[in-house]
Amino acid sequence: MTSSTTVLVTCPPMLGMIDEFRAIFSDAGVELVAPEVVQVMTEDELCDLLPEMDGWIIGDDPATARVLRAGKEGRLRACVKWGVGVDNVNFKTARALGLKITNTPGVFGKEVADVATNYVSGLARQTFLIDREIRTNMAWPKPSGISLAGKLVALVGLGDIGRETARRLAAADMKIIAYDPFADTPEDVPLERATWPQRISEADFVVFTCPLTDDTRHMFNVDLLPELKPGIRLVNVSRGPVIDERALATGLETGIVHSAALDVFEVEPLPAASPLRKFDNCIFGSHNGSNTRDAVARVSEKAIALLFDFLEI
């Protein structure tokens, strides 16, 4: 393969450590294109760039049929979706166009589970709210929290992230009802199984670790609110559209939902006009649950290797 081979990287965590990977590209004679990306590139930006690329390491960008066709009409031959979630990538179109494509499954279970567990604890004891009040309002708050031991978690998703989250929550002596029609029950974690939304009225926490599909989109919605235990706490480290944010805002406004910790949102970054911003007892993340230096290095090297194999480098 000649030095004219060019690869585009648009994944923000990988871009944040891109200097650590430059030698891999240069040693292989590959030109690296690494633009500044806060969250995603737009379809128009990608349609302009991709025709000049041979390969693409995709973040959460809109890898739509339009974008992929634009790339295929140029030089694009192969793509790797960095990370686990693939709801932003039109794999069907990619394969129909003859593009080689894959993702990197099963790579972030422990890292994202760490964040999910941190969010559960943070909502239970309101540690983030305490920190915020001390810093911004010179206050010294002492809110009464709730203990984790004995509380029931409705865990939605038993994939890699869900299993690792279950292990951590079980270690805190929490009870778990798991919802996943496809995954097997892990033998090393004590939990019960149910079909969503059965037994949701018993839950003190709901934790979403599931992929975004037609079945999971807006599975938390306004129709669910009357079924919930008043004061329930909600965590989402999966995909934003799993939750109907208007329904969540209603739940928070009425007090049915005590608080929520969200690493992901329906629109990212979170819009300035989002009604969720007014709820001070919530925790907001920046879709950053997988982003540790260790994990980014490991997954980036895997993504590069997969792409180079596709490109026969």
Over residues 207-216, the pLDDT tens digits come to 999 999 999 9
Q: pLDDT tens digits, residue range 254-265? A: 999 999 999 999
Domain count, the chain: 2
With respect to residue 80, please indicate whether it lies within any of the assigned structural domains: yes
pLDDT at 209: 98
pLDDT at 18: 98
Task: Judge contact between 73 and 49, C-beta under 8 A.
Answer: no
138/278 Cα distance (integer angstroms): 20
- Single out the residue of 306, 304, 290 nearest to residue 108, CA to CA: 290
Q: Are residues 93 and 148 in the same domain?
A: no
Task: Judge contact between 66 and 90, C-beta under 8 A.
Answer: no
Q: How, if at all, do strands 175-179 and 192-193 pair?
A: parallel
Q: Residue 62, by phi and psi: left (phi above 0), alpha (psi -120 to 50) or beta?
A: beta
With respect to residue 1, please indicate whether it lies within any of the assigned structural domains: no
Domain that holds residue 190: 109-284
pLDDT of 2 over the 90 cut: no
Task: Judge contact between 261 and 248, C-beta under 8 A.
Answer: no
As a whole number, mean pLDDT of residues 9-35 equals 97
With respect to residue 95, please indicate whether it lies within any of the assigned structural domains: yes
Q: Are residues 165 and 119 in the same domain?
A: yes
Q: Are residues 263 and 121 in the same domain?
A: yes
Positions annotated as catalytic residues are 239, 268, 287
Q: Are residues 61 and 90 in the same domain?
A: yes
With respect to residue 149, please indicate whether it lies within any of the assigned structural domains: yes
Q: Are residues 135 and 178 in the same domain?
A: yes
Q: Are residues 95 and 147 in the same domain?
A: no
How far the first Cα of the chain sits from its last, in Å, is 6
Task: Judge contact between 288 and 8, C-beta under 8 A.
Answer: no
Q: Are residues 14 and 88 in the same domain?
A: yes
Q: Are residues 91 and 129 in the same domain?
A: no
> Residue 10: exposed, middle, or buried by beta-carbon count in 10 A (0-12, 13-18, 19+)?
buried
172/216 Cα distance (integer angstroms): 27
Percent of the chain scoring above 90 in pLDDT: 98
Which pLDDT band, with edges at 50, 70 and 90, does 124 fall under?
Answer: very high
Which pLDDT band, with edges at 50, 70 and 90, does 4 fall under?
Answer: confident
Q: Are residues 240 and 144 in the same domain?
A: yes
Q: Are residues 96 and 189 in the same domain?
A: no
Could you tell me how far CA 19 lies from the centroid of its own chain?
24
Domain with residue 60: its CATH number is 3.40.50.720
